[in-house]
Structure 1
Amino acid sequence: MRRSKIVATLGPASSAPETVLELIRSGVDVFRLNYSHGRREDHATAVQVIREAARTHGREIGILQDLSGPKIRTGALEGEDEIRFETDEEVRLVPGDGPIRRGVLTSNLPSLIDDLRPEQRVLLRDGRLELRTIERRGEEFLLRVVRGGLLSGRAGINLPETRISVPSLTEKDRLDLAHGLEVGVDIVALSFVRTAHDLEEARAAAAPREIFLIAKIEKPEAIDNLDEILAVADGVMVARGDLGVEMPAESVPVLQKRIIRAANRVRKPVITATQMLESMIESAVPTRAEASDVANAIFDGTD
């Protein structure tokens, strides 16, 4: 009998009723709705489709709402698909969320320039590009490109050495959470958790409704505060994507085992996520490395 559960992310390519039913027949136990993308009305429709498919199949299927959290992104790119930042080039980070261009970066976080300090890493596109802060100049911050590459608009920004002054639960998250509770999600996953207070804030936002709350572990601060987070969360997710950007990639397997062991110790469910069977987006057969990755996550104690 299979004891480990399967969580599947539902998106536009997989949300048709017949596809959802086939996924349930294939063994999906929980569907994840990614509130970083898509409209709320689309997620509401997905909930209805899942519930109907579950009734048809006669199974209890969970629905997990994944809140986007304070994801920092660059401004948009106008007139081009990508621009190249060259290694050793100097780049200005300027206020506002205007368009980016050669030599100029913007972001959707108003406090970013105030939060930065000299000699801190700024990672773009999941770490494909690396910049380092030099100094603040008035309302701008000067950065140097350490590892260049192509940059598209609205690219993700990771700041592994910077404490950003933004709550883990954004205003968008609050609205999304209210919507999720209204349409009847079963589980809520909170992104970029740093402390137990972040989880308490989410519970307060949901009150008087009770929520089953999953803390996504993807920040160095969350690793430092893991025990106190586990004391407050109903479960945790090893979010290997951002965790592998914020921290050295080679440390992720060790951190995965540490997080899972800690969750097992206090009998809290743990999900291991990101790039599980990634090649199967294009291929019908997983790689041997992916099969080994799934097996090892289960051997580690993933639920």
Structure 2
Amino acid sequence: MLRFGTIGTSWITNSYIDGALDSGLWTLTAVYSRTLEKGREFGAKYGVETVFTDMEAMAQSDLIDAVYIASPNKLHAEHVRIFLENGKHVICEKPLSAHAKDVKALQTLARERGLIYLEAIMFMHLPQRRLLEEALEKIGGVNIAKLDFCQRSSKYDAYLSGNLPNIFNPALETGALMDLGIYCVYPALYLFGMPERTQITAQLLASGADGSGIVAMQYPDKLVNLVYSKVGQAAANTDFQGNLGTVSVASISKLANIEIIYNDGSRETVCGEEPKYKLMGYEAKDFYRYITEPEASAAEYAQCCALAYAVSDYMEQLRRDAGIRFPSDR
């Protein structure tokens, strides 16, 4: 087994840890927190006693082989660099950075050091992705698609009350596009490549963060719309319309409850839904495989790196076109 540490103590870190441990390939040996008390409380849930409050010390430690980073978006690139420079493999929560140049630089650093630097995006590691591709083949060529991830933030009421939660604070490089839109961008670029034309409309809140957005992607033979929101809850599914039917996806982020509805009205169930920790466990399994089987997994890992950079570059373009600005843009 490989040993890993974690940066971040939110629910997403819990889910990743649960998935990694469930895989049987990883053991958690250290956690980082800004305060020793919170770190001990978090580590105690997993029987981990080693807590770091100094990130450099954690990166230099021989207690971990790799790290899972789930710090605020703004800090991702900085934290990744610390661990890569100290010889640790890194899996970092999305988005890797608000700036594609940072992603490229860190990918170069990882390659030079012989390390794995991976974006923790479930889509690229779920077996359901192959099932989705097979389902799309069954409906003929896709001519129009709508990828939807609208989930009202639990922090939105606090924002409406005059507070500024992290998710609606541009200084932390967050907002609807960075948090939820990326789950739509990834499958769009993976399945269809870069569009010929793009048009984005974003709803900007008073804080400067985007609360929601719509992206129209035009291809020679299809139209793809991305719809995402942190201020409203969607009841509609993602769907891909083809010549022979429609593929409906209840959750594009989890690739859950996929169904084919053929033109004659008949239906075919493709897959149901798995628990979140299981989904994140697939990320942990691939992360392990890329580290321990570098030659056998080289092409797959290279595809992940290329798409991670393409997504970062495209999302930076979307922000620019929509007028979504972060302090780091200066």
Q: Given the two structures, how large is their TM-score scaled by the length of structure 1?
A: 0.31
Higher RCO by CA contacts (8 Å cutoff, separation 6 or greater) = 2
Q: Given the two structures, how large is their TM-score scaled by the length of structure 2?
A: 0.29
Greater helix content? 2
